Structure 1
C-alpha cells in the first residue's frame, strides 16, 4: 500500500519546467558556420515580407510541425567585398523549424541580416527557435562585424 501511495505521489508531483537554452546570437559564429558548410549562402540585409498567419503556433500547438515552408520575399542588399551594395529583391522560401514546442519566428516587415541559402537558383532562409542564420533588426555592430568577416579581417568568435 505504501508503494502504491508513493507511486501516486510521484506521478502527481509537478514535473520540472522544460526550457530551451540558446547561445547568444553571433554574426561572427554564423559566418564561420556558413563558411564551413557545404551549402552556398548569400548574406542579405533587408526587409522580410510574408504571411505571419502561416507560422507554426509553437507553444500553443500540442504537436507543431518540425518544419514549415512559407513563401516570402526579402528586399534589400547583398554583401560583397565593398559592403552591402548589390540590390537583392527575391522571392524566397522561409523555412521555420520547431524543436519540440519551440518554433522559430519572424514578423512581417522586420529588418533582417540573414545568411540565405542559394541552391539551384532558389533561395531559402531558415529560422529556428534560436534564430539560426537570421539576425532580426541588426545593429550597426553586427553589420560592421559581418563586413569585416567577409573581407577576411578580424572575425573573432564571441
Structure 2
C-alpha cells in the first residue's frame, strides 16, 4: 500500500518547468524572414506608444496568459527606403503579443526598430513573441546600419 501511495504522489507531482528555446533574435534574421515572406513589411525606426496595462501578464498571474493579445498602438518615425530611414511614417497599428505557454513577447514603449506588416484587413500589425518577433527595443546604431545594409543588398547573414 505504501508503494502505491508513493507512486501516486510521484505521478501527480509537478513537473519541472520546461525552458523555451529560441533561435538568436537578430536584425539580419528578422530582415531575411520579412524579405522572404509573402506578406508586405515596412521597416520603421521610431517611437512606439500604447497602453501597457493591456499587455498580458507573462504568466505571472494565477491564470495562463492568452495565446494572442491585440493592443491598439501608434508608431511615429521614419520608414526605410533606398535613401535610408527618410520616409515619414506615423500610423496607428495593432500590436500582436503572442504567448507560448507562460512566456509572452516583451514590449516596451519608446524607441524601436520595427518590421511592421501591412495587411489588407487590419492595416498595420506589429508582432512580438517570446523569441523576439518583429520588434527591437532601443535599437543600437549598429542595428540601424545593419538593416540598411541588408536593404541595400549588402551582407545580411545572421550570427549563429
Query: What TM-score, normalized by structure 1, do the two folds share?
Result: 0.92
Secondary structure of the residue aligned to 2:59 is: helix
Q: Kindly state the Cα deviation for residue 11 of structure 1 after the two structures are TM-superposed.
A: 3.1
How many residues end up aligned between the 2 structures? 157
Q: Deviations over 1:34-58 (max 9, x none)?
A: 1111100000011100000000112
Q: Deviations over 1:74-110 (max 9, x none)?
A: 01100011100111111111111111111112122x2
Distance 1:3 1:30 in 2: 53
- Mark the runs of 5 or more structure 1 residues left unpaired by the alignment: none
Inter-CA distance 14–56: structure 2 relative to 1 (3 Å threshold) = closer
Q: Deviations over 1:116-151 (max 9, x none)?
A: 001228100010111111111111111111000001
Distance 2:126 2:8 in 1: 47
- Mark the runs of 5 or more structure 2 residues left unpaired by the alignment: none
Secondary structure of the residue aligned to 1:91 is: strand
Counterpart in 2 of 1:89? 90
Query: What TM-score, normalized by structure 2, do the two folds share?
Result: 0.91
RMSD: 1.6
Counterpart in 2 of 1:116? 116
